[in-house]
Structure 1
Amino acid sequence: MKILDRYLLKEYLYTFAGVLFVCLIVMLVYMIIDNYDEILKNDPGFKYTVLYFANSLPFHIIQIVPLAVAIAILFTIGLLSRHREIVAMVAAGISARRIAAPILAATLGICLLSFIFSELVVPGCQQRAKYIEKAYIEGKGQRIQTKNQEIFVKGQGQRFYVMDAFDSATNTMTNPTVIDLNDEGSGLMLRLSADRGELAKERGQGKYWRFYNARRWSYDKDGRPNGFEQFDKPITLPMEEDLEKFLSHRKKPEEMNIFELGKFISILAKRGEHVGTYATDFHLKIAFPFSALIIGLICFCFAVRLDARNMVFGYAMGVISAIAFYGFTAVSQALGHQLILSPIVASWAPFALFAFLGYFFLNKLSI
């Protein structure tokens, strides 16, 4: 590694670390102010307050890394330009692309670390933060995360599940009813009701559910009842895969890694459910950590041309570009959630547009 590369990397990485730290402090202060009333009202205690903020921060770290990269590059390269060090490098025959190489290589490393961090650390932290928020910060109690009430869920094909409640801690249904409609969905084929149902893995490798005090009605093709059975003893029936996951509280995309989210989307699609939200967020999970590289390239193009006369303008344009990327990504994500745009287009369009702008600005550099 050349002396120039080491010098640029040292200046950039130190600046990035400082900017990221300041951004995290600002984010933490905002979170404290935002939750102050709930904390004061429900008194979760020092332990759970600290745990809540500690588990909430990793998600916000991923969100602010691109902005921290943008500011760090603007400061690092901007100050070098102001002190005429960029002019000296160019006079020595070093091109803007060569100056950018170590900066962008380090930014790519930051992107890879962000992606790994978002997959290995963020989902678990988000789950814990959500649990602490509901149970302690909002004072709803520890059972709030395991018990889902008034459930109406579509299964595979024409099957529907209705029940008063489902407890994911014990995988227990309260007053469940399973309804099978005909292929057209216009009439009943079967109805099973019970006082209680519980997950009980038994013979073979499938998942079985045990129903207590069960009653079963069958219907002919015209929807007229043609049979009734009441079971004094518990009956055990096979049910579809991962049923308990859909009866419990659904995880948000940020609470799952890409493998969990991909499997969840596949199961949703089999049930005929709307997957626009999850599919869009699946692609964004892959794309967003690398947005720092694109924003960093654009900010470098502004910063490398700075001098004392246009420094404020250059800094402003760099920050505006970063904020514009965040805004465009948010709008595109919303369009993907509503299926106005396909999930792939909604997720990758902002990155394609700003990557093109970065390439355009880099080619416009005269140094």
Structure 2
Amino acid sequence: MKILDWYILKRYLFTFLMMLLLFIPIGITVNLAEKIGKILENKVPFGEVALYYLNFTIYFANLLFPIFLFLSVIWFTSKLANNTEIVAFLSSGVSFSRFLRPYIIGATIVSLFAMILGFYLAPIASQGFNEFTYKYLKSARHQDPGQNIFRQINDTDLIFVSSFDKIQKTGYNFTLEHIEGNELTYKMFANSIRYSEADSTYKLFNYYKRTITDNGDIIEAQRQLDTVLPFDLEDLMPVNYIAETKPYSELVEFIDKEKARGSSNIGRYEIVKYKKWSLPVSVFILTIIAVAVSSIKRRGGMGFNLAFGITTAMVYVFFDKVFGVLAEQSDFSPIIAAWLPNLVFGILAIFLLYNAKR
């Protein structure tokens, strides 16, 4: 690798790191100023607060690092252009494609880091971040109960609750149907079902069971029944962020399992899976756009380039969020929702790169 490559690569990585180190403390300060009342009110131990902000750092770095990278590349490349360094590089016989090579090497390094972060570290941080949020920072009135939950938990059993309260771990109007072949063998009812963490059992209130046999139906009824049932608590009410907390291999297995159960949240889970791949690719696209725009010396200096960068970053985030919500709440394809922003900005990158070479 030549001096030019090392010079640009070091600036690429160093500026990106400085951008992260600059904005993450600002994000922590703003979040702490907003949440300090809840933290003090709930008397949260200092160790848990420190762990929360460590998870907060990883969680939001994973979400926003392409934008930080984009702005950092525009920043240092604009400085190179204003100092006429890029003109000197190109005047020495270096082609624009050759000039772009250290940027692509830097993007490859950052992309590999993004994959490690998204596949392994971010899920751990997401779980800690969300658990702390729901435990200490969200009031009970903001934790709405699930409504009309119907799930196939295995090949033979289906469950239904009209509503489920995550705080009380209680479901209402519970039904379990056991089907073998195409025939219903028994059906259980209860006015309410409550999960007991102490022994991992369920309490059924006003329990009623009807078993269908060749000799007639067998009826069983009790005011209260403590029993073990063939499903987990998350089967009654999986948390919205559960896909974010799973490493990639576990996420794939989880989605396959949820598809077999007929879950209505498949779009939400699949968008998380596809973004683990689309996010590293966006590093290359945003890098090329940043270089193509900021490598030209302009009369307005860095101001125009930074304004363009911030506007482009906001549009990218807008596309990403809008299509993500569409995939979660409609039949819109999750794979299209995850990759469409990259496709649109990839076309923009090719156009801008072509003009920059000219």
Give the C-alpha shift of residue 80 in structure 1.
0.8
For residues 150 and 309 of structure 1, what CA distance do their matches in structure 2 show?
56
> What SS class does the counterpart of residue 176 from structure 2 fall into?
strand
Query: Against the structure 1 CA distance between its residues 276 and 164, is the aligned structure 2 distance closer, same or farther, given a 3 Å change threshold?
Result: closer
The question of whether the paired residues in 1 share the 8 Å contact of 2:293 and 2:356 is answered with no
Give the C-alpha shift of residue 181 in structure 1.
7.4
Of 190-199 and 99-108, more deviation after overlay is shown by 190-199
Give the C-alpha shift of residue 338 in structure 1.
2.6
Query: Against the structure 1 CA distance between its residues 151 and 37, is the aligned structure 2 distance closer, same or farther, given a 3 Å change threshold?
Result: farther
For residues 44 and 24 of structure 2, what CA distance do their matches in structure 1 show?
23
Counterpart of 1:246 in structure 2 is 235
Counterpart of 1:258 in structure 2 is 248
Counterpart of 1:323 in structure 2 is 314
Question: Where does 1:75-114 land on structure 2 (aligned, <5 Å)?
Answer: 75-114=75-114
Query: Against the structure 1 CA distance between its residues 191 and 87, is the aligned structure 2 distance closer, same or farther, given a 3 Å change threshold?
Result: same
Counterpart of 2:50 in structure 1 is 50
> What SS class does the counterpart of residue 365 from structure 1 fall into?
helix
Counterpart of 2:177 in structure 1 is 179
Give the C-alpha shift of residue 247 in structure 1.
3.3
Query: Against the structure 1 CA distance between its residues 151 and 88, is the aligned structure 2 distance closer, same or farther, given a 3 Å change threshold?
Result: same
Question: Where does 1:30-49 land on structure 2 (aligned, <5 Å)?
Answer: 30-49=30-49
> What SS class does the counterpart of residue 296 from structure 2 fall into?
coil
In the alignment, structure 1 residue 217 sits paired with structure 2 residue 215: no
Give the C-alpha shift of residue 117 in structure 1.
1.4
Give the C-alpha shift of residue 88 in structure 1.
0.7
> What SS class does the counterpart of residue 273 from structure 1 fall into?
coil
Query: Against the structure 1 CA distance between its residues 160 and 354, is the aligned structure 2 distance closer, same or farther, given a 3 Å change threshold?
Result: same
The question of whether the paired residues in 1 share the 8 Å contact of 2:188 and 2:209 is answered with yes
The question of whether the paired residues in 1 share the 8 Å contact of 2:79 and 2:302 is answered with no
Segments of 5+ residues of structure 2 without an aligned counterpart are none
One-letter amino acid of the structure 2 residue matched with residue 154 of structure 1: R
One-letter amino acid of the structure 2 residue matched with residue 96 of structure 1: F
The question of whether the paired residues in 2 share the 8 Å contact of 1:197 and 1:212 is answered with no
Q: CA offsets per residue over residues 20-57 of structure 1, 9 Å max, x none?
A: 11111121122112312212322213222222111222
Give the C-alpha shift of residue 84 in structure 1.
0.7
For residues 330 and 138 of structure 1, what CA distance do their matches in structure 2 show?
23
Of 331-340 and 128-137, more deviation after overlay is shown by 128-137
One-letter amino acid of the structure 2 residue matched with residue 129 of structure 1: F
Q: CA offsets per residue over residues 285-343 of structure 1, 9 Å max, x none?
A: 22123322211110110110133444321221122112211111111111111334211
One-letter amino acid of the structure 2 residue matched with residue 160 of structure 1: I
The question of whether the paired residues in 2 share the 8 Å contact of 1:177 and 1:193 is answered with yes
For residues 98 and 295 of structure 2, what CA distance do their matches in structure 1 show?
12
Counterpart of 2:124 in structure 1 is 124
Question: Where does 1:146-157 land on structure 2 (aligned, <5 Å)?
Answer: 152-156=149-153
One-letter amino acid of the structure 1 residue matched with residue 310 of structure 2: V
Q: CA offsets per residue over residues 63-112 of structure 1, 9 Å max, x none?
A: 22111211211121111110111111111011222111101211121011
The question of whether the paired residues in 1 share the 8 Å contact of 2:164 and 2:237 is answered with no
The question of whether the paired residues in 2 share the 8 Å contact of 1:265 and 1:279 is answered with yes
> What SS class does the counterpart of residue 218 from structure 2 fall into?
strand
Counterpart of 1:192 in structure 2 is 188
For residues 43 and 243 of structure 1, what CA distance do their matches in structure 2 show?
31
Query: Against the structure 1 CA distance between its residues 357 and 76, is the aligned structure 2 distance closer, same or farther, given a 3 Å change threshold?
Result: same
One-letter amino acid of the structure 2 residue matched with residue 356 of structure 1: I
CA RMSD in angstroms comes to: 4.0
Query: Against the structure 1 CA distance between its residues 165 and 74, is the aligned structure 2 distance closer, same or farther, given a 3 Å change threshold?
Result: closer
The question of whether the paired residues in 2 share the 8 Å contact of 1:210 and 1:237 is answered with yes
Give the C-alpha shift of residue 347 in structure 1.
1.1
Query: Against the structure 1 CA distance between its residues 255 and 212, is the aligned structure 2 distance closer, same or farther, given a 3 Å change threshold?
Result: closer
For residues 102 and 63 of structure 1, what CA distance do their matches in structure 2 show?
25
* Residue correspondences, number: 342
In the alignment, structure 1 residue 294 sits paired with structure 2 residue 266: no
Query: Against the structure 1 CA distance between its residues 164 and 354, is the aligned structure 2 distance closer, same or farther, given a 3 Å change threshold?
Result: closer
Give the C-alpha shift of residue 258 in structure 1.
2.2
Question: Where does 1:5-24 land on structure 2 (aligned, <5 Å)?
Answer: 5-24=5-24
One-letter amino acid of the structure 2 residue matched with residue 178 of structure 1: L
Query: Against the structure 1 CA distance between its residues 165 and 318, is the aligned structure 2 distance closer, same or farther, given a 3 Å change threshold?
Result: closer
In the alignment, structure 1 residue 356 sits paired with structure 2 residue 347: yes
Query: Against the structure 1 CA distance between its residues 59 and 87, is the aligned structure 2 distance closer, same or farther, given a 3 Å change threshold?
Result: same
Counterpart of 1:204 in structure 2 is none
Give the C-alpha shift of residue 166 in structure 1.
10
Give the C-alpha shift of residue 344 in structure 1.
1.3
In the alignment, structure 1 residue 160 sits paired with structure 2 residue 166: no
Q: CA offsets per residue over residues 242-295 of structure 1, 9 Å max, x none?
A: 655413643532212222222222122112222122122221122123322211
Give the C-alpha shift of residue 5 in structure 1.
0.7
For residues 316 and 210 of structure 1, what CA distance do their matches in structure 2 show?
58
